[in-house]
Chains A and B, each alone.
Chain A
């Protein structure tokens, strides 16, 4: 499996469950801050990356298990494991063993969400994104077409991707709220690079 195929596998089997995993961490491991959860999720991707994907039958369960194990490692590093923490870990384990849920987001609905995110991007940003993804122009060609620098194209695309990543982290409900107040999210500002 080449790198692009591995990215597609992650996108298909892991990414769709990120919001749910984050939600579980928030609800069941009360000792974690938002930054802790970001760290755990990011480290989980690093852990999952070298796995033999063909052997993973349920991406969701694998994601949960990986994150749970990271929580356990943190607990171990803290040396003292309070019972409630073990209970939290147990709660995570139980949920991770559920069969693939009915609430599994359909591929089509997931695409719809992505489309909505793109639709909400600032005009220039959206244009750059559509030229890259829909018309498959290179970033250099986009720069020429739009009369802007390649660096600015990169900034636009980075902003578009960051928005998508925010939406992945937040899940469908949150993303709906984000669309009600476009431009208010801190992460889409691309500080210092526009």
Chain B
């Protein structure tokens, strides 16, 4: 704020100096009514003024300790400022994120009819990288299961549960199709991720093209189309678009920014990222990665937004940080971590 003063022609006091003046004035005794009004007006300008006054009054109060200082001072501490240098995290490739639902059962049924497949699973908290026979890279997020079947006709993967990211090896003769619930995602570009979550599929494309359609309109070998999907005609998704798909409803396609798409795939680096999701949603996401559950015992608190990038496998760290940010507190209940409102 000294900079602010230097750039101003008028001798305007900095917020800090005004705050210091009020702190000293308040220390002198009760305010006259007009002073009280002036203070309230100043405080009402912005929250920074309130904070600056708290800071100044705290420092002023703290100076009482000087009276007790008998011995000469020791020299001030110097240096010793440590810290980790931030390393930017880069994303090498541009995938498609898809989030999916409930109808994993269909996938299981399909594979019951097609038993020649490989099954890959990941444990809770594990991110598992697998190279498939065609050179495609598949990364399984926490608690996921994928069944892979390559035939002369094509490459089929059923995501039974969880989430998987695919960096697909080019092979136009053998289409790469991921089924998740009611829908299938066909890779026409290079990479994409599919996630089974609640009752929706969520596909985000950042590079290349994918085709999304209801599984029922894309009859696999030996299985007749069934059910009325809203996405019976394939929907092509181009980069920086996201499709939200529910069974028997038209696809909702919305543009997204590249950072948003990247954020959705933070799990590849062992992280989870939130940008205003509710605490309830964030906790559900963190819980996917951990055996130790987090509970939120307050519906108002559960609706508060959470922002930030967190280590996926550190539920305590998440709970502590989120609680601190939301003015809540953390307690333990058996093996569970409970985030609850601070009684006040």
A residues contacting B by CB (< 8 A) are 4, 7-8, 10-12, 14-15, 18, 20, 23-24, 27-28, 34-35, 38-39, 41-52, 55, 61-62, 65-66, 68-69, 72-73, 75-76, 80-84, 86-91, 93-97, 101-103, 105-106, 108-109, 111-116, 118, 129, 132-134, 136, 138-140, 150, 154, 157-158, 161-162, 164-166, 168, 171-173, 175-176, 185-187, 190-193
Contact = CB atoms under 8 A, between A and B. Distances in A.
B86 A28 contact: yes
B282 interface: no
A9 B40 CA distance: 24
B18 to A, nearest CB: 9
Given A90-B308, A161-B59, A115 B69 contact: yes
Nearest to A112: B73
Contact of A111 (B23, B69, B88, B327): B69
Interface stretch (B2-10, B156-164, B166-174): B2-10
A51 B16 contact: no
A172 B74 CA distance: 12
Given A83-B263, A94-B84, A112-B73, A42 B57 contact: no
Contacts of A106: 77
A38 B49 CA distance: 11
A165 B321 contact: no
The number of chain B residues touching the other chain, given as a range, is 35 or more
B20 A20 contact: no
Interface stretch (B60-68, B147-155, B190-198, B218-226): B60-68
B84 A109 contact: no
Contact of B325 (A49, A50, A65): A65
B324 A62 contact: yes
Contact of B24 (A4, A61, A118, A157): A157
